[in-house]
Amino acid sequence: MAKEIEITMENIKSTKIDSPEIVDESTQQNASRIETKGVKVWYDDFMAIKGIDMVIKPNTITAFIGPSGCGKSTFLRLFNRMNDYVEGFKMEGKIKIDGDNIYKKKVNVEQLRKEIGMVFQKPNPFPKSIFDNVAYGLQIQGIKDKKLINERVEKALKQADLWEEVKDNLKKSALALSGGQQQRLCIARTLAVQPSILLMDEPTSALDPISTAKIEELIHHLKEEYTIIIVTHNMQQASRISDYTAFFYLGELIEYDKTRKIFTNPEKKQTENYITGRFG
Ligand SMILES: Nc1ncnc2c1ncn2[C@@H]1O[C@H](COP(=O)(O)OP(=O)(O)OP(=O)(O)O)[C@@H](O)[C@H]1O
């Protein structure tokens, strides 16, 4: 497969990407929820992200695609400062969320993570009851009002389309649920603390097709209330559920545009090669 790649470092380096429909910040403050400028990331001496500018609009689903190791997860984890935990991590550039630079010194990272929820590849429920899993974030926040907790747990389970399946068994261990149910529980756990941006790192890659379809449908509904970014290796998934698609390669943003454009008429040969399965 690799020999079919028609990419050279020269044409990648000369590729200058403009985010789609970037609007004048001064007149359209609300048009972007997330904006990155000149973002570079290193793990020790290794440069994993090589200068990325991107604007993500509110209430959209953006898919990050690209071959393994191209920097999708690294870039995604910048938005809730998850990389801060990684030894050797260093970044340059600006990331603004709702106009605020989230890497300023004064930023309250705990508050940021409340606003920006994350769902991981493998469902990772705590070894606690279904109810306690969803209530966990609220309790951590110091919320003690039982009625409020009950309401939020029910709402989050309904939003995650799991309520009907578990409402009579809330005390049951979360570990007894199926993989697909566990992932919806993890989504409910994230939603319970009422974030407004959802980061999803390959949320369905460990699931069967039926569970995957359920989660895709759920993501589609969540768009009404949330801005969603999803890393996926599944091209069909990206084309089914996202409004915008960003194609990464070797730490660079090669092409970023409306999903329909990326999948029907990409500007760059590299993008075409990737989405048609000619490398990756
Ligand atoms: N904690 C780390 N320490 C050192 N290098 C890392 C670390 N995490 C990622 N990298 C490197 O940074 C590059 C980008 O990795 P990243 O996980 O962001 O890619 P990805 O596109 O999400 O890959 P995948 O699709 O396989 O998950 C890779 O070369 C990877 O080896």
- Whether 234 maps to a domain, the answer reads yes
**Lining residues, ligand 1, CB within 6 Å:** 43, 46, 48, 66, 68-74, 86
Q: Is the pLDDT of residue 30 over 90?
A: no
- Whether 128 maps to a domain, the answer reads yes
Q: pLDDT per residue over 245-278, tens digit each?
A: 999 999 999 999 999 999 999 999 999 999 998 8
Please report the atom of ligand 1 found closest to the CA of residue 202: 27
The per-residue pLDDT for 15 is: 39
Structure-model confidence comparison of residues 1 and 85, the more confident one: 85
- Whether 116 maps to a domain, the answer reads yes
Q: What is the residue range of 152's domain?
A: 2-275
The per-residue pLDDT for 280 is: 62
Q: pLDDT per residue over 120-163, tens digit each?
A: 999 999 999 999 999 999 998 899 999 999 999 999 999 999 99
- Whether 201 maps to a domain, the answer reads yes
- Whether 29 maps to a domain, the answer reads yes
Q: Is residue 179 within a helix (H) or strand (E), and if so which, with residue range?
A: helix 179-192
Determine which residue's CA is closest to atom 1 belonging to ligand 1: 86
Could you tell me the distance, in angstroms and rounded to a whole number, from the CA of residue 40 to the centre of ligand 1?
A: 14
Could you tell me the distance, in angstroms and rounded to a whole number, from the CA of residue 235 to the centre of ligand 1?
A: 20
Q: pLDDT per residue over 62-78, tens digit each?
A: 999 999 999 999 999 99
User: Is-contact 35 95, C-beta < 8 A?
Assistant: yes
Q: pLDDT per residue over 182-231, tens digit each?
A: 999 999 999 999 999 999 999 999 889 998 999 999 999 999 999 999 99
Q: How confident is the model at residue 26 (pLDDT cuts 50, 70, 90)?
A: very low
Structure tokens at 152: 């939020």
Please report the atom of ligand 1 found closest to the CA of residue 88: 3
Could you tell me the distance, in angstroms and rounded to a whole number, from the CA of residue 115 to the centre of ligand 1?
A: 25
Determine which residue's CA is closest to atom 5 belonging to ligand 1: 43
The per-residue pLDDT for 278 is: 81
Please report the atom of ligand 1 found closest to the CA of residue 44: 4
- Whether 220 maps to a domain, the answer reads yes
The per-residue pLDDT for 277 is: 87
How many structural domains does the chain have? 1
Say which CATH number the domain at 57 has.
3.40.50.300
- Whether 140 maps to a domain, the answer reads yes
C-alpha span between 34 and 96 (Å, rounded): 6
Q: Is the pLDDT of residue 50 over 70?
A: yes
Q: Is residue 93 within a helix (H) or strand (E), and if so which, with residue range?
A: strand 89-97
The per-residue pLDDT for 23 is: 41
- From 74, 85, 90, the mutation candidate for ligand 1 (largest count of ligand atoms within 8 A of CB) is 74
Q: How confident is the model at residue 279 (pLDDT cuts 50, 70, 90)?
A: confident
For β-strands 227-231 and 197-201, DSSP reports them as: parallel
| SS3 at position 183 | helix
Q: Is the pLDDT of residue 16 over 60?
A: no
- Whether 280 maps to a domain, the answer reads no
Q: Is the pLDDT of residue 13 over 50?
A: no
The per-residue pLDDT for 28 is: 45
Determine which residue's CA is closest to atom 24 belonging to ligand 1: 68
Q: Which amino acid is at 89?
A: F
- The residue with tokens 């566990």 is 182
